[in-house]
Amino acid sequence: MTTQTTIPPEAAVMARLSTLDRFLPVWIVAAMLLGLALGSLIPGLDTALEAVKIGEVSLPIAIGLLVMMYPVLAKVRYDQAHRVIADKKLMISSLVINWVLAPAFMFVLAWIFLADLPEYRTGLIIVGLARCIAMVMIWNDLACGDRESAAVLVAINSVFQVIAFGALGWFYLQLLPSWLGLPTTNAEFSFWAITASVLIFLGIPLLAGFLTRTLGEKAHGRDWYEGTFLPRLGPWALYGLLFTITLLFALQGGTITSKPLDVARIALPLLVYFVVVFAAGMLVGKWLDLGYAKTATLAFTAAGNNFELAIAVAVGTFGVTSGQALAGVVGPLIEVPALVALVYAALWARRRFFSPVPASL
C-alpha cells in the first residue's frame, strides 16, 4: 500500500517561490547596505545622480522606478475586468476597504506614531494611499487566492490611482488635518506635483503594460505571453526595485545611520497596518460568504501597498533625500516579511474556517 505524504503548507509556500522571490528580504537588505556603502565611499555621488532629471527626479532613479513598475502591470489580464466587476460583493467591499478604510487607518496610525515627525508622517500617509499592484500577485498566488480577481482588482486600483491619487493626497495631507485642527503638510506639497508623479511613474508603465499584453497576445497568443514572455520579464520588477533602493539609500545614508530609532518608528505603524487591514479583509470576506479564494484575495489586495508608487511620489514631490522618501523606502523592507507571514496566516485560516486543504498543499 502506498503512503501519501502531506506537504506542510509552509514548505509548499517556500517551494513555490523562485529563488529570487524566496530571498527577497535578503536582497532588499543587501541593496540597502550596498547603498549605504556607496554613499559613504563615493564623494559627490549625490551631485552626479542629480545632474540629469525627469521632472524633480534624477534620471537613474526615474529609470529604476519605471523598470520596477512596468513588468507588474504587464502581468494584468485587463480583459477579465468584467467578471470581477460583476461580483458586486467583492467589488464594493474591495473599494471600500482599499479607498476609504485603509487610507483612513494609515492616517490615524501616522498621527499616533509619528505626530512629532512630520516628514515621516507624510511619507507614511502616502504609503497608505498607494494601493496594491505589485507583489500582492505573488502573495495571493501562494495563499491560493483567486488569481483573476486579484489581477482585475490590481488593474482597477492602478487606474483609480491615476485618477484619484492627487485628490486623496490633498485630502489627507491638507484638508482633513485642517478640519481636525492638526498641522498640514508644508508648502512643498502640491496636488499637481503628486498628480504629475502618478501620471509619470504609474501612468506610463500602466499604458506600456496594457499595450504589451494586448499586442503580445495578439501576435503570439496568451500561452506564449504568460508561459514564455512574462517569466523573462517578471524579474526586472525586482531588479528595478533593488536598483532604486540602492540609490535611495546611497543618498539617505547619513539620515539612516544617524537616526536608526526613526526607522524603527516608521516600521512599527506599518506592521500594525498590515496585520489589522489583512485581518479585516479576511473577516469581511468570511462575513460576506465570498469563499476562501476571493476572501484571501480581498485581504491581500487590502493589506498590500504599492510601495513602488509611494517611493516614486515621495521622491518626485519632496525630493530624493527627504524624510518622506525614507518612509517610502522602509515600506518594502517591512511589507515583504509581513506579507509572507500573512500567507501562512491565510493558509491556517483556510484549514480552520473554510474548506478542507487539498493533499497537495
**159-204 tens-digit pLDDT:** 788 788 888 988 999 899 999 988 887 545 566 766 776 777 778 8
pLDDT attached to residue 190: 61
Q: What letters, b where the CB count within 10 A reaches 16 and e where it falls short, cover 326-360?
A: bbbbbbbbbbbebbbebbebbbebbeeebeebeee
> Most confidently modeled of 25-39, 174-188, 211-225?
211-225
pLDDT attached to residue 143: 86
pLDDT digits (tens, 9 = 90+) for 246-290: 887 787 666 667 778 888 999 999 999 999 999 999 999 999 999
Provide the residue type at 173 as one letter: L
Q: What average pLDDT does range 20-41 have in this prediction?
A: 79
Specify the range with the lowest mean pLDDT, choosing from 3-7, 49-53, 228-232.
3-7
SS3 107: helix
Greater pLDDT, 19 or 300: 300
pLDDT attached to residue 20: 66
pLDDT attached to residue 251: 73
CA within 13 Å, CB half, 98: 29
Class of residue 205 by CB neighbours under 10 A (exposed 0-12, middle 13-18, buried 19+): buried
Residue of 165, 190, 195, 327 whose CA lies nearest to 248: 327
> Phi/psi at 18 (nearest 5 deg)?
-65, 160
Q: Does the structure show a pLDDT above 70 at 91?
A: yes
Q: What average pLDDT does range 202-215 have in this prediction?
A: 88
What pLDDT band is residue 109 in, cutting at 50, 70 and 90?
Answer: very high
> Phi/psi at 202 (nearest 5 deg)?
-120, -45
Integer Cα distance of 298 and 285 in angstroms: 7
Q: Do residues 130 and 293 make contact, with C-beta atoms less than 8 angstroms apart?
A: no
Q: What average pLDDT does range 296-322 have in this prediction?
A: 83
Which triple of cell numbers denotes residue 102?
A: 485603509
Report the DSSP beta bridge partners of residue 54: 57
Integer Cα distance of 4 and 7 in angstroms: 10
- Percentage of the chain beyond pLDDT 90 is 30
Specify the range with the lowest mean pLDDT, choosing from 47-61, 314-328, 338-352.
47-61
Integer Cα distance of 238 and 269 in angstroms: 25
Q: Do residues 320 and 281 make contact, with C-beta atoms less than 8 angstroms apart?
A: no
Class of residue 325 by CB neighbours under 10 A (exposed 0-12, middle 13-18, buried 19+): buried
Q: Does the structure show a pLDDT above 50 at 341?
A: yes
Integer Cα distance of 227 and 24 in angstroms: 22
DSSP string for 295-331 = HHHHHHHHH-B-HHHHHHHHHHHH-TTSHHHHHHHHH
Q: Do residues 315 and 248 make contact, with C-beta atoms less than 8 angstroms apart?
A: yes
Greater pLDDT, 238 or 138: 238
pLDDT attached to residue 360: 44
- Percentage of the chain beyond pLDDT 70 is 83
What pLDDT band is residue 238 in, cutting at 50, 70 and 90?
Answer: confident
Which triple of cell numbers denotes residue 164?
A: 484619484
**Length of the chain in terms of residues written:** 361
Q: Do residues 172 and 201 make contact, with C-beta atoms less than 8 angstroms apart?
A: no
User: What predicted TM-score, i.e. pTM, was given to this entire model?
Assistant: 0.76
Helix or strand holding residue 2 (H, E): none
Residue 319 vs residues 84, 179, 190, 235: alpha-carbon distances, Å: 38, 27, 13, 27
Provide the residue type at 126 as one letter: I
What pLDDT band is residue 124 in, cutting at 50, 70 and 90?
Answer: very high
What pLDDT band is residue 134 in, cutting at 50, 70 and 90?
Answer: low
pLDDT attached to residue 187: 46
Which triple of cell numbers denotes residue 162?
A: 491615476
